Structure 1
Amino acid sequence: MRLRLRLRGVLLVLALLLAATAVVPVLLLGDADADGATAGVAPAPPFNSSRVKAVSWQPRIFVYKGFLSDAECDHLVRLGKKKVHRSMVADNDSGKSVMSEVRTSSGTFLDKRQDPVVTRIEERIAAWTFLPEENAENIQILRYEHGQKYEPHFDYFHDKVNQARGGHRYATVLMYLSTVDKGGETIFPNAKGWESQPKDDTFSDCARKGLAVKPVKGDAVLFFSLHVNGVPDPLSLHGSCPVIEGEKWSAPKWIHVRSYENSPVPEEENEGCTDKSEHCAQWAAAGECGKNPVYMVGTEGMPGQCRKSCKVCDS
């Protein structure tokens, strides 16, 4: 009898040791790529519905507290820091990317499944939104410095060119990679009942003109640009207030109604090697075709902004 009890005790200790050694690397160390660049990037805690709060139903807006871990935020900032360029906007008529004073941030796109950390985040977004990964665009990394902002705009398209690829943007997941001391709020000026949102002195003047979400490192905002029947929702108008104190890093992920990865590239985008910015030649001369190939050249199925200047096609 004593021998049997002692044996059970030994087996219990062994089981606990095996469980501990199996769990610790996953929770504390995260995944690592071939050169170890992602080692030590701890993931956020498992999905917890209590961390999600509905802040508006018209339009539908949800905030997930702690969607990313601090380590994941820092990793995304490191990936984007050396590659950010002046952000562009889609022209309402042609659909081409153009510079505008409406948007004064800097940004760059990551590759899909670029490394284990990015892959893990993309999978988490799909799990939260119940929308397939193939419907989503690449994660974009954005930096807003003092005074930089993005005037209120819609994420759904007004031009037929962009609609041809995956349809309208149905939902947006906006991840905050840094906490801004003041300003930089995401504002929804058309949200129903925004006047009832309590605001103290920590909100900027811009944030007092609509429903506002403060940028807090690790948090994420999910909002829908279309109604459930697929009709664009004008209440989804949103913008980024000017940064007053600090620096804002964020990462939007746009998700379409249909597959974005497997949609044919519209003819207007595939006609050849037309540059989409007047600055392409200058950027190419500075070596950006090699330094920032995702933005300049593009990836499979997603042409870049400066294909002609980077000499990646014949025409």
Structure 2
Amino acid sequence: MAGMKFVFGLLTFVTVGMIVGALFQLAFIRRLEESSGIPHWVDDKEAVVLHLGIVKPEVLSWSPRIILFRNFLSMEECDYLRAIARPRLKISNVVDRKTGKGVKSGVRTSSGMFLSPEERKYPIIQAIERRISIYSQIPEENGEHIQVLRYEKNQFYQPHYDFFSDPFNVQRGGQRIATMLMYLTDDVEGGETYFPLGLDGEGDLYSQHGGCEVVGGEKWSATVWMRQGSVTF
């Protein structure tokens, strides 16, 4: 009985800690937004890069922690990412739990590509990654390369976790602790991201999510996974 009370108390402590951390994160973001009303921000290059006064955060859920950032990317940035990705799209892979390598699977039917180290030096890409770092409050060096994805009609991604369940991938920067999912089109029918109840596994079980089947148009998105430490490739 004492053991059960201890476990319950520990879970309560962890849950409260996550909520408090999320509140601090949201308060920080809102301070950034409110400060954009000061006239001197108009000519501030950093403010322009961060889209101060443009990005609008909205908490969708505390468990799992889901924050929607409206207007995070400009239309020009969305077009830019699609243009870079289109010539190099390949059938998407999933991580094999036993080997940690990327393999083709019927649970994911999209096509995609990763930006190269050289492309991360482009000014537009650097601006996007800087914005991701500030709004997630995770260092830029903890982010993986941006992945751009395209889902055509009838394509989908079945429910899955973004954190690793193999011992190999965590050696290159630790476990994934956050996902920044950026939508690059708004004229698609279907393709929503949904969060069913959690299943067995490690990490936040309620973070399991999937991509609904696209009914019409094309769904384009860009993803950055953030790690515990600096990512090495």
Report TM bin, short chain. 0.7 to 0.9
Aligned residue type for 1:109: F
Residue 44 of structure 1 contacts residue 66 of structure 1 at CA under 8 Å; is this kept in 2?
no
SS at match of 2:172: coil
CA distance in 2, matches of 1:177, 1:90: 24
Report the CA distance between 1:68 and its aligned residue. Answer: 0.3
Report the CA distance between 1:243 and its aligned residue. Answer: 0.4
Report the CA distance between 1:154 and its aligned residue. Answer: 0.2
Identity, % of aligned positions? 44
Aligned residue type for 1:232: G
Aligned to 1:133: 140
Residue 50 of structure 2 contacts residue 127 of structure 2 at CA under 8 Å; is this kept in 1?
no
Alignment counterpart, residue 231 of structure 2, candidates 235, 250, 260: 260
Aligned to 2:66: 61
Q: How many residues align?
A: 188
Judged with a 3 Å threshold, the aligned counterparts in structure 2 of structure 1 residues 84 and 183 are, in CA distance, closer, same or farther, namely same
Aligned to 1:247: 218
Residue 108 of structure 1 contacts residue 142 of structure 1 at CA under 8 Å; is this kept in 2?
yes
Residue 54 of structure 2 contacts residue 72 of structure 2 at CA under 8 Å; is this kept in 1?
no
Report the CA distance between 1:148 and its aligned residue. Answer: 0.5
CA distance in 2, matches of 1:48, 1:248: 23
TM-score by length of 2: 0.75
Residue 44 of structure 1 contacts residue 68 of structure 1 at CA under 8 Å; is this kept in 2?
no
Alignment counterpart, residue 151 of structure 1, candidates 158, 181, 186: 158
CA distance in 2, matches of 1:129, 1:145: 29
CA distance in 2, matches of 1:256, 1:100: 24
CA distance in 1, matches of 2:95, 2:194: 20
CA distance in 2, matches of 1:93, 1:163: 13
Alignment counterpart, residue 123 of structure 1, candidates 126, 130, 134: 130
Q: Which stretches of structure 1, 4 residues or longer, exceed 6 Å deviation after superposition?
A: none
Matches within 5 A, 1:152-231: 152-190=159-197
Aligned residue type for 2:226: I
Report the CA distance between 1:163 and its aligned residue. Answer: 1.5
Aligned to 2:52: 46
TM-score by length of 1: 0.56
CA distance in 2, matches of 1:120, 1:240: 27
Aligned to 1:309: none
Bigger Rg, which one = 1
**Are 1:107 and 2:112 matched, yes or no?**
yes
Aligned residue type for 2:52: P
Aligned residue type for 2:210: G
Residue 188 of structure 2 contacts residue 219 of structure 2 at CA under 8 Å; is this kept in 1?
no
Report the CA distance between 1:259 and its aligned residue. Answer: 1.1
Aligned residue type for 1:66: N
**Are 1:72 and 2:43 matched, yes or no?**
no
* Superposition CA RMSD, Å: 2.4
SS at match of 1:82: helix
Report the CA distance between 1:166 and its aligned residue. Answer: 1.1
Structure 1: runs of 5 or more not aligned: 1-21, 28-41, 192-230, 262-300, 302-315
> By percentage of residues, which structure has more helix?
2
Judged with a 3 Å threshold, the aligned counterparts in structure 2 of structure 1 residues 146 and 44 are, in CA distance, closer, same or farther, namely farther
What are the superposed Cα offsets for residues 103-132 of structure 1, whole Å, 9 maximum, x if unpaired? 000000012424110010000000001101
Aligned residue type for 1:78: A
What are the superposed Cα offsets for residues 174-226 of structure 1, whole Å, 9 maximum, x if unpaired? 000001431000111127xxxxxxxxxxxxxxxxxxxxxxxxxxxxxxxxxxx
Residue 179 of structure 2 contacts residue 224 of structure 2 at CA under 8 Å; is this kept in 1?
yes
CA distance in 2, matches of 1:190, 1:100: 22
Residue 49 of structure 2 contacts residue 131 of structure 2 at CA under 8 Å; is this kept in 1?
no
